[in-house]
Amino acid sequence: MEEKKKQEKKVAPPKEKKAKPEKKDLGVISYDAPTLPGEKKDVLSALPDSYSPQYVEAAWYSWWEKQGYFKPEYGPNSRGVFMMCIPPPNVTGSLHLGHALTNAIQDSLTRWHRMRGETTLWNPGCDHAGIATQVVVEKKLMRERGMSRHDLGRDQFIQEVWKWKNEKGDRIYHQLKKLGSSLDWDRACFTMDPKLSYAVQEAFIRLQEDGVIYRSKRLVNWSCTLNSAISDIEVDKKELTGRTLLPVPGYKDKVEFGVLVSFSYKIEGSDEEVIVATTRIETMLGDSAVAVHPADPRYQHLKGKMVLHPFCDRKMPIVFDEFVDVNFGTGAVKITPAHDHNDYEVGNRHNLAFINVLDENGLLINVPAPFLGMKRFEARKAVLQALKDRGQFKETKDNPMVVPVCSRSKDIVEPLLKPQWYVDCADMGKQAADSVREGRLKIIPDHHHKTWFNWLDNIRDWCISRQLWWGHRIPAYFVTVNDPSDMDGHYWVSGRTEEEARDKAAKRFNVSTDKITLRQDEDVLDTWFSSGIFPFSIFGWPNETQDLSVFYPGSLLETGHDILFFWVARMVMMGLKLTGKLPFKEVYLHAVVRDAHGRKMSKSLGNVIDPLDVITGISLEGLYAQLQDSNLDPVEVEKAKQGQKSDYPTGIPECGTDALRFALCAYTSQGRDINMDVNRILGYRHFCNKLWNAVKFAMRTLGDNFVPSEKAQVRDSVSDRWILSRLCSAVGQCNAGFQAYDFPAITTAIYNFWLYELCDVYLESVKPVFSRAEDSGSQSQAVVCRQTLFTCLETGLRLLAPIMPFVGEELYQRLPRRRSQDDHSSIHVTPYPETEEGLIDLEKEVAKLTVKKGELEKQMDKLREKMDKSDYKEKVPVKVQELDAEKVRRCGGENVLRF
């Protein structure tokens, strides 16, 4: 129990006792041996004097890939199947440290399962990122050719996007390979590939035919800059404490937000007025009612009354609704059903008019002449002035509020009434929630259950149409029937082809196909729709392929907790609905990576770091150059430069892939965000150097003619037994850590074993043994010590290989092999250590040592009794007294043996 407590104290990432950075400059050593891509690296030449990431990480990845180690078909794997698909990163650009964390965790898990002898597949893929990609290419077109997508037309613009994707889209895969990610690249998928596009089309048609997908006119989040509806995840909520001027795309001057404007409506047939307040005064042009609380005594006499709109002949009812807050303002609220989510619900409850006063570009429509055609925020000033002119303006005051901003375009999001395609999520949401409630799906850590249930139990239908050109075009057709008996003429059918849709329409309306006219929907599907079916579309669904039968459902989904309901929930809902199966058995949600100050990663803050810059190092000037090539505004570029100068005054030092991965895993505490300081990563580069030096020393000690025995040879040496017990303990902690997704426990066990136990204690304790090896009595002792040392090195490297794949491989390749491992050409296809290997039977050894401890304590008691006698100093020779005192000192009283 005491031992367990000691180990638990070490779970936190090492702090004070971390390997001290060497004072000398970090050396850069390159690998220069002529090695073609895919050839095995030269491991016969001597190791360099010190660890250098450039040397260590050269050549291995292409060899691993060519050998087929990343494929599930490699090797006789008989311990079950482990399958995980990558959360497909957006094709738009480069990975950041958050992606690096995702991949460090996922690759470590993949390599661990592979080394355990399971049939292992980690499937790569990339998302077409509809809005983000379209924005990037549009900006490129305007910057380089002064053209908009409308100048090109839809077909030509899509060709430009494909051209950009083919030129730039592989950057992410390059980064993943530099991170050491052991993905099966032969199975890589892009969400716009024909195989996946076919699955998307099939999913839409099946759901539409089942009535799960339907069309409806509702309020959506609208970006006037993108001319598209956007999802909740693409809306940033900017909190304001009061009056604030914000930049808005398309406006020269900043626009005022964070104020509450009060004005009055006149009561019809009376001198009375009702004062209302709004943060969006321009929307009063679309007002269709004033609402008060049913119990508010101030307005009881106004039941059945109407108010008059000041700028048109519109009469608007005063409605009584319990949603009104009697303590806010005057207790009377203007209602604009077509431009506010709360007002939309009020409008439905009271059958109010839905008056749309904004078009898709943010220009005013359906309004009196003075305001017609105005831009929405220019109309804000004009309406305010017009109210002042009529004497109906009351006051303006500061008002804390949240402004919805489009994360892609930085435009202010407008609620807009538009006909869109929706997914009815009620039944699917219940099934997804129940799968966790009933224990069929496990979410780790379980404190995310509350978020899961809150969202799914109150789920709203999902708007899946986007007014974009890049993406999966919706396979639905607008139908016109050329027949006098057709009174409506406006219907929608879905179809895999236009011919199939025409046949459907003809059957539905009981006319011949020649009387049917079709027009395909111009919209594309929300990117999350194709991502939602990713776990099975990658295997060829709806076709019954071999991969689908072997690898679906998957074992695990690992991702950041910030997309729990945007992606994870949708995968679960779509998987259950379309395949009848959960897409995976477990979901592990890791923390979000923030900068050293706890701030969210943001390009405008200059704290979004490319993991390759941490791996290879970069100067401050190099960081500046990257900002110049970005899409940031000049003002944001300068702000970002200041942030970079503050955080990285001399740039970022070369840390290497292994150190980056180890650092990210070490600080991944469940449920807490990670504040990542690059200096911490550098500390683990120095740890790599400690490993390097330990193995170099050990190899000299083993000698050229050393032959490892099949199992560790244990003698009566306390130091040998102790280090093997520590190794056995580390093996147990690492396996338990992987099973529980406790990555700090894994890194702490590895770090403690190599640094504190092997290097600081064992290697120091056995140096005298090797120095006395010439003595005949010490030769046998040295032989056993060498076997113990080899066991520690070989097992210790296998322990760390999943997290530190490059240095693990480089050092493992230099070690001699046990005969039973001759066919293990790479450390990544060796078995992961298990306590059952017989390194040492910990319980038996502890029992033996406990008996020995008891015997020594008895001897100590006798010795103390002898030394406590009154005539001890007179009768016992001085030399014997000195020897007795040394025995007491060495045994340390009660600490006869330490475990």
Burial (CB < 10 A; 0-12, 13-18, 19+), residue 204, is buried
> Which tokens hold the place of 804?
């530190």
Q: Residue 682 in contact with residue 21, Cβ under 8 Å?
A: yes
- DSSP H or E segment with residue 229: strand 228-230
**Backbone dihedral angles phi then psi of residue 739, each to the nearest 5 degrees:** -65, -35
Q: Is residue 530 part of a domain?
A: no
597 or 739, greater pLDDT: 739
pLDDT band for position 774 (50/70/90)?
Answer: low
My answer on whether 701 and 824 are in the same domain is yes
pLDDT digits (tens, 9 = 90+) for 2-43: 444 444 444 444 443 444 444 445 678 999 999 999 999 999
Task: Read off the CATH number of the domain in which 778 is found.
Answer: 1.10.730.10
Q: Is residue 111 part of a domain?
A: yes
My answer on whether 708 and 805 are in the same domain is yes
Q: Is residue 492 part of a domain?
A: no
Helix axes 449-457, 426-437, angle to 10 degrees: 150
My answer on whether 695 and 782 are in the same domain is yes
Average model confidence (pLDDT) across the chain? 88
| Nearest-angstrom CA–CA distance, 809 and 806 | 5
Report the percentage of the chain scoring pLDDT > 70.
91
Secondary structure class of 869 (helix, strand, coil): coil
Residue 586: pLDDT over 90: yes
What is the tally of structural domains in the chain? 5
pLDDT score at 740: 95
pLDDT digits (tens, 9 = 90+) for 365-417: 999 999 999 999 999 999 999 999 999 999 999 999 999 999 888 899 999 99
pLDDT band for position 896 (50/70/90)?
Answer: very low
The last residue of one of the domains, among 149, 164, 190, is 190
Q: Helical H runs in 741-804? A: 743-751, 764-771, 776-800
The residue to which tokens 């919706």 are assigned: 474
Report the percentage of the chain scoring pLDDT > 90.
67
pLDDT score at 17: 45
Q: Residue 122 in contact with residue 182, Cβ under 8 Å?
A: yes
E strand intervals along 475-575: 476-481, 491-494, 516-520, 524-525, 554-560
> Which tokens hold the place of 79?
């311990």
Residue 177 neighbours by CB distance under 10 Å: 16
Q: Is residue 824 part of a domain?
A: yes
pLDDT score at 712: 64
pLDDT score at 857: 85
pLDDT digits (tens, 9 = 90+) for 678-737: 888 999 999 999 999 999 999 998 888 888 887 766 666 788 889 999 999 999 999 999
| Nearest-angstrom CA–CA distance, 492 and 488 | 12
My answer on whether 299 and 165 are in the same domain is no
The residue to which tokens 């009154």 are assigned: 870
Q: 745 vs 443, 444, 511, 796, 843, CA distance in Å? A: 20, 16, 70, 15, 22
For 142, half-sphere exposure in the C-beta direction (CA atoms, 13 angstrom radius) is 10
pLDDT score at 233: 74
Q: Is residue 168 part of a domain?
A: yes
**Average pLDDT score over residue span 830-842:** 78
| Nearest-angstrom CA–CA distance, 301 and 657 | 74
pLDDT digits (tens, 9 = 90+) for 806-834: 999 999 999 998 876 667 899 999 999 99
pLDDT score at 888: 80
**Average pLDDT score over residue span 59-71:** 96
Query: pTM of the prediction?
Result: 0.84
Secondary structure class of 153 (helix, strand, coil): coil
Q: Is residue 395 part of a domain?
A: yes
pLDDT score at 78: 73
pLDDT band for position 645 (50/70/90)?
Answer: confident
pLDDT score at 778: 63
My answer on whether 654 and 750 are in the same domain is no
Q: Helix count (H) and strand count (E) of the chain?
A: 31, 29
> Which tokens hold the place of 590?
């890791």
Q: Helical H runs in 605-656? A: 611-616, 620-628, 634-647
pLDDT score at 670: 56
My answer on whether 181 and 144 are in the same domain is yes
| Cα angle: 653, vertex 657, 660; to 5 degrees | 70
My answer on whether 701 and 642 are in the same domain is no
Asked which of 503-507, 520-524, 813-817, 886-890 is least confident by mean pLDDT, the reply is 886-890
My answer on whether 77 and 138 are in the same domain is yes
My answer on whether 316 and 389 are in the same domain is yes
My answer on whether 626 and 685 are in the same domain is no
pLDDT band for position 284 (50/70/90)?
Answer: very high
Give the domain extent around 164.
Answer: 68-190
Residue 754: pLDDT over 60: yes
The last residue of one of the domains, among 171, 190, 209, is 190
pLDDT score at 868: 87
Secondary structure class of 614 (helix, strand, coil): helix
pLDDT score at 476: 94
The last residue of one of the domains, among 175, 190, 205, is 190
pLDDT score at 710: 75
Decide the pairing of beta strands 213-223 and 332-335: unpaired
pLDDT score at 11: 41
Q: Is residue 465 part of a domain?
A: no
pLDDT digits (tens, 9 = 90+) for 145-186: 999 999 999 999 999 999 999 888 788 899 999 999 999 999
- DSSP H or E segment with residue 31: none
The residue to which tokens 């496990």 are assigned: 442
Residue 788: pLDDT over 80: yes
My answer on whether 853 and 839 are in the same domain is no
Residue 758: pLDDT over 90: yes
Q: Is residue 84 part of a domain?
A: yes
Burial (CB < 10 A; 0-12, 13-18, 19+), residue 731, is buried
**Backbone dihedral angles phi then psi of residue 251, each to the nearest 5 degrees:** -120, 130
Q: Residue 346 in contact with residue 319, Cβ under 8 Å?
A: yes
